[in-house]
């Protein structure tokens, strides 16, 4: 159960809200014909397998199709089968994932592949119950795998589908509440063309992506506009409704580019791997001091206990108090204000928690995009 919704077998288990008066068969037919003519030739549609659907759908969560495509190719080239992905190290998967954000998706994808190999003989499960055992696979991805890959009669609902359903049925229930989600899943189930679940579900998603867009939907080209209650009422741009915007809090992060000679003879820098329990788990980062929702001055920073601890791990450190880069970075619930300072040192003490790497090998480590941006801007 997630969002209070489970993927049930196709029997009607609760009343379907407000599909009355709409010829669902005609909507299905129109969607199917439109899809046959307009569907984009996307790689995961060209070469359909449950592994390809799993990969593409995890990559496409919170990612645009044009951006996700390059990552899909990278993953299928490097890991042609689920066995290859299961055998990869977390570092390698995160390095390939670099730049996509929401890195728990990448970590979960690898763990899901390991469970598929260890518990399902390498075959991606064909039931909602089996799929529920895979980390990172929620109701949407379950429905996508069951319908797109196995052509089984299960609905699926993502952001595109919420929008199409809300407009078609004129549903004003908020899409970001448990009760609202239940209603939209029931509508998706009622609308599902059980004879062609793969084509039908992809058609609704494609309509949302190409035609029934959030702003300025192209209703004149829309195959189901004659049935669309929002269109009839002229309120298509007002739907779907969201109950509340998530509050975005600031988070201040002060990074240090510690430059020092490396044992290999060239220049080195200090990094460390981030632990569990926060964003960017398993990625690498520069030495960091965080001050939560409140920023501090350079004077306050140099008096901070964590700054003194950092200096204590270095031989003959020199701190440069003028920032060499700043960058603002938005996450779903946080507005990060990052500042990068330069610290030069002649060496690192053996008690240091940091790893000294040759600067030229930096690209072998997966860093959050924020750090890549800071380093690219560094003067």
| Residues annotated catalytic, as ranges | 57
In 3D space, the residue among 52, 70, 45, 65 whose CA is nearest the CA of residue 109 turns out to be 52
The residue within the footprint of ligand ADE, chosen from 4, 14, 23, 65 (CB under 6 A), is 65
Instruction: Check if the beta carbon of residue 285 is closer than 8 Å to that of residue 274.
Output: yes
Please check whether residue 73 is in contact with residue 95, taking contact to mean a CB–CB distance below 8 angstroms. Answer: no
Pick the closer one to ligand ADE by CB: 60 or 100. Answer: 60
User: Using CB under 6 A, which of the segments 53-61, 166-174, 272-280, 340-348 binds ligand ADE?
Assistant: 53-61
Stretch that binds ligand ADE, among 54-62, 69-77, 188-196, 351-359 (CB under 6 A): 54-62
Q: How far apart are CA 58 and CA 136, in angstroms?
A: 8
**Segment interacting with ligand ADE (CB under 6 A) among 17-25, 57-65, 272-280, 326-334:** 57-65
Judged by CB under 6 A, the residue of 55, 58, 60, 374 near ligand ADE is 60
Nearest partner of 330 among 250, 274, 242, judged by Cα = 250
Q: Give least dist CB 302 to ligand ADE, A.
A: 47
Window contacting ligand ADE (CB under 6 A); options: 22-30, 52-60, 76-84, 117-125: 52-60
Residue number with CB closer to ligand ADE (138 or 347): 138
Q: How far is the CB of 41 from ligand ADE (least distance, A)?
A: 11
Residue 59 touching ligand ADE (CB under 6 A): no
Residue with tokens 């741009």: 237
Q: How many residues bind ligand ADE (CB under 6 A)?
A: 8
For ligand ADE, the binding residues in 126-185 under the rule CB under 6 A are 158
Q: For ligand ADE, give the closer residue by CB, 209 or 311.
A: 209
314-315 and 347-348 as β-strands: parallel, antiparallel, unpaired? Answer: antiparallel
The residues in 85-124 that bind ligand ADE, with binding defined as CB under 6 A, are none
CB of 328 to ligand ADE, least distance (A): 28
The residue number whose beta carbon is nearest to ligand ADE equals 60
Binding mask 198-237 for ligand ADE (x = CB under 6 A): -------x---x----------------------------
Q: Which of 72, 76, 52 is CA-nearest to residue 64?
A: 72
Please say which residue, 62 or 264, places its beta carbon nearer to ligand ADE: 62
Q: Which is nearer to ligand ADE, 136 or 287 (CB)?
A: 136
Of 96 and 149, which CB lies nearer to ligand ADE in the complex structure? 149
Range 21-50, binding ligand ADE (CB under 6 A): 42
Nearer to ligand ADE among residue 36 and residue 360 (C-beta): 36
For ligand ADE, the binding residue among 57, 173, 193, 236 (CB under 6 A) is: 57
Contact stretch for ligand ADE (CB under 6 A) within 56-64, 71-79, 291-299, 308-316: 56-64
Task: With beta carbons less than 8 A apart as the criterion, state whether 147 and 201 touch.
Answer: yes
- In the complex, the smallest distance separating the C-beta of residue 143 from ligand ADE, rounded to whole angstroms, is 11
Pairing of strands 318-330, 334-344: antiparallel
Task: Extract the tokens encoding 198.
Answer: 């793969």
Binding site for ligand ADE (CB under 6 A): 42, 56-57, 60, 65, 158, 205, 209
């Amino acid at each position: 159960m997630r969002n209070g919704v489970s993927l049930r077998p196709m029997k009607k288990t609760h009343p379907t809200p407000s599909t009355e008066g709409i010829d669902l068969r005609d909507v299905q037919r129109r969607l199917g014909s439109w899809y046959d003519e307009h569907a984009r030739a996307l790689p995961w549609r060209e070469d359909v397998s449950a592994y390809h659907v799993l990969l593409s759908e995890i990559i496409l969560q919170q990612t645009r199709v044009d951006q996700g495509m390059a990552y899909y190719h990278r993953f299928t080239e490097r890991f042609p089968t689920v066995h290859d992905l299961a055998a990869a190290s977390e570092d390698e998967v995160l390095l390939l994932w670099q730049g996509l954000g929401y890195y728990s998706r990448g970590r979960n994808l690898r763990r899901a592949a390991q469970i598929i190999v260890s518990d399902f003989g390498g075959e991606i499960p064909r039931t909602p119950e089996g799929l529920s055992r895979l980390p990172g696979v929620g109701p949407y991805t379950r429905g996508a795998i069951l319908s797109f890959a196995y052509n089984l009669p299960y609905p699926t609902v993502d952001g595109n589908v919420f929008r199409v359903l809300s407009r078609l049925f004129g549903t004003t229930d908020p899409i970001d509440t448990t009760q609202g989600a239940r209603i939209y899943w029931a509508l998706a189930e009622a609308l599902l063309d059980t004879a062609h679940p793969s084509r039908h579900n992809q058609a609704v998603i494609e309509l949302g992506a190409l035609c029934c867009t959030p702003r300025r939907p192209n209703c004149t080209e829309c195959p189901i506009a004659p049935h669309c209650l929002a269109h009839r009422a002229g309120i298509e741009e007002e739907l779907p409704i969201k109950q509340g915007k998530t509050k975005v809090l600031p988070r201040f992060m002060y990074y240090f580019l510690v430059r020092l000679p490396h044992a290999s003879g060239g220049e080195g820098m200090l990094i460390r791997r981030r632990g569990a329990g926060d964003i960017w788990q398993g990625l690498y980062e520069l030495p960091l001091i965080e001050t939560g929702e409140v920023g501090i001055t350079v004077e306050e920073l140099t008096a901070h206990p964590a700054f003194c601890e950092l200096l204590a791990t270095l031989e003959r450190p020199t701190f440069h108090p003028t920032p060499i880069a700043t960058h603002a970075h938005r996450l779903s619930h946080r507005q990060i204000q990052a500042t990068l300072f330069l610290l030069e040192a002649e060496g690192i003490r053996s008690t240091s928690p940091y790893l000294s790497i040759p600067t030229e090998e930096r690209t072998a480590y997966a860093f959050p995009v924020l750090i890549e941006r800071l380093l690219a801007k560094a003067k």
